[in-house]
Structure 1
């Protein structure tokens, strides 16, 4: 058993993910008003957890943990804090080095997915702060992470909110059930800007193979925003 995963992402019309590069609304509306619309749509999804990749999490916790020990941990460790918020925040950290200043992000308890490169003192830091964690043999075992989140943390649905690397990894693993694409009415235009899905694979890999999109709904929102919702089918 695993949670339902909805990739909920806002991009420019050319599919790019860096809001600071997007052109401004034509009518002078502050861009922040459009980002509020994205957040409002996210609430409509009614998931009981939301999830970032490492780069996006670092925007909130830009501190690096400096281990004092080289001793690493064994796979299979799971820590569930004694008290959990109604909604959970999940992040994938392949380097096990984010230094958290709180056990919560935006009021929601943090759960971290790690690999066996995590040091024992890093794990101790998480436990002391009351941050939940899952240690896998390889942090790329996303299917296993989803199973543990469902079975031990009671997570039924996740809003995956990027960035592009974790979106691409989840796509390649066949773990996306829906795509909630919010299109901001602006353009980036730069070839090298990150996009919605950024799978880190070989040139001959096709991370979306065996999957197809069915349009569930399309809606024009405030400020010229488009909201497209798709179901992913396994063929």
Structure 2
């Protein structure tokens, strides 16, 4: 993820650093550092993916969840582009985004019509339980079906928060820009809408593995996540 000093998510809101434009810094560093992590694909939420597709459908859902088989399109040797879209709202006209094969993680309440649209586009899909929030089994399916072990989680903040609460983040790679947003209530890079008193990060500890200063005053931090042992 890339963030302002105050942890905010959207670079178009940030102040420009001295003698530099923030959009130029983001363009210079984000993809370059992501490439150095040597992942086999990336994961985003529906709202983030909406920027890459032509549109969305009005979501329909089954009254009761219905178990159906996963569908694997033709990946070839491409990286994966994984999107969390429980209702199957996004419309794809091809099986790839920027050359990476699309895999959609759905709820079991998605309609057959939505599945047919995905198959027609050549998109792969799998299910994450009745409401599309059982992310662990969905990731296990991706690993088994496509042989991947290393994916980059790239937002938005709510998607990152869901993965954090599920204990599914193994490491953080964070670019901190010399910029500020400053407005209360703007999205942060990790957000989880839990109940009052909930602690989605409880039992998860960050260990600094690397810290590097990049051009333009951007700080690149890499942390490993270690979790407390689960009770037997």
TM-score, normalising length from structure 2? 0.92
> Does structure 2 retain, via aligned residues, the 8 Å contact 1:95–1:118?
yes
Shift of 1:70: 6.1
Q: Distance in 1 between matches of 2:50 and 2:123?
A: 16
**Are the structure 2 counterparts of residues 134 and 193 from structure 1 closer, same or farther at C-alpha, using a change threshold of 3 Å?**
same
1:198 is matched with 191
The answer to whether residue 79 in structure 2 is matched with residue 84 in structure 1 is no
Q: 1:15 aligns with which of 2, 7, 32?
A: 7
**Are the structure 2 counterparts of residues 73 and 136 from structure 1 closer, same or farther at C-alpha, using a change threshold of 3 Å?**
same
Note the aligned Cα RMSD (angstroms). 1.9
The answer to whether residue 19 in structure 2 is matched with residue 27 in structure 1 is yes
The answer to whether residue 176 in structure 2 is matched with residue 179 in structure 1 is no
The answer to whether residue 45 in structure 2 is matched with residue 53 in structure 1 is yes
What are the superposed Cα offsets for residues 20-68 of structure 1, whole Å, 9 maximum, x if unpaired?
Answer: 1000121034623433311100000000010101110111125122579
**Number of positions where the alignment pairs a residue of Structure 1 with one of Structure 2:** 227
The 3-state SS of whatever aligns with 1:204 is coil
> Does structure 2 retain, via aligned residues, the 8 Å contact 1:53–1:91?
yes
> Does structure 1 retain, via aligned residues, the 8 Å contact 2:40–2:149?
yes
Q: Distance in 2 between matches of 1:68 and 1:90?
A: 21
Shift of 1:137: 2.3
The answer to whether residue 153 in structure 2 is matched with residue 163 in structure 1 is no
What are the superposed Cα offsets for residues 61-100 of structure 1, whole Å, 9 maximum, x if unpaired?
Answer: 2512257996987335211113434211001002211111
Q: Distance in 2 between matches of 1:136 and 1:76?
A: 11
2:127 is matched with 135
> Does structure 2 retain, via aligned residues, the 8 Å contact 1:48–1:157?
yes
The answer to whether residue 141 in structure 2 is matched with residue 151 in structure 1 is no
TM-score, normalising length from structure 1? 0.90
Q: Distance in 2 between matches of 1:180 and 1:141?
A: 24
The 3-state SS of whatever aligns with 1:43 is helix
Map 1:36-51; keep pairs closer than 5 Å: 36-51=28-43
What are the superposed Cα offsets for residues 103-145 of structure 1, whole Å, 9 maximum, x if unpaired?
Answer: 2111101000000121101101101110000023231001111
Structure 1 runs not aligned, ≥5 long: 1-8
Structure 2 runs not aligned, ≥5 long: none
1:216 is matched with 209
Q: Distance in 2 between matches of 1:202 and 1:186?
A: 31
Q: Distance in 2 between matches of 1:145 and 1:70?
A: 20
> Does structure 2 retain, via aligned residues, the 8 Å contact 1:73–1:120?
no
**Are the structure 2 counterparts of residues 218 and 79 from structure 1 closer, same or farther at C-alpha, using a change threshold of 3 Å?**
same
Map 1:87-102; keep pairs closer than 5 Å: 87-102=79-94
What are the superposed Cα offsets for residues 179-214 of structure 1, whole Å, 9 maximum, x if unpaired?
Answer: 001111100001111001110210111000001000
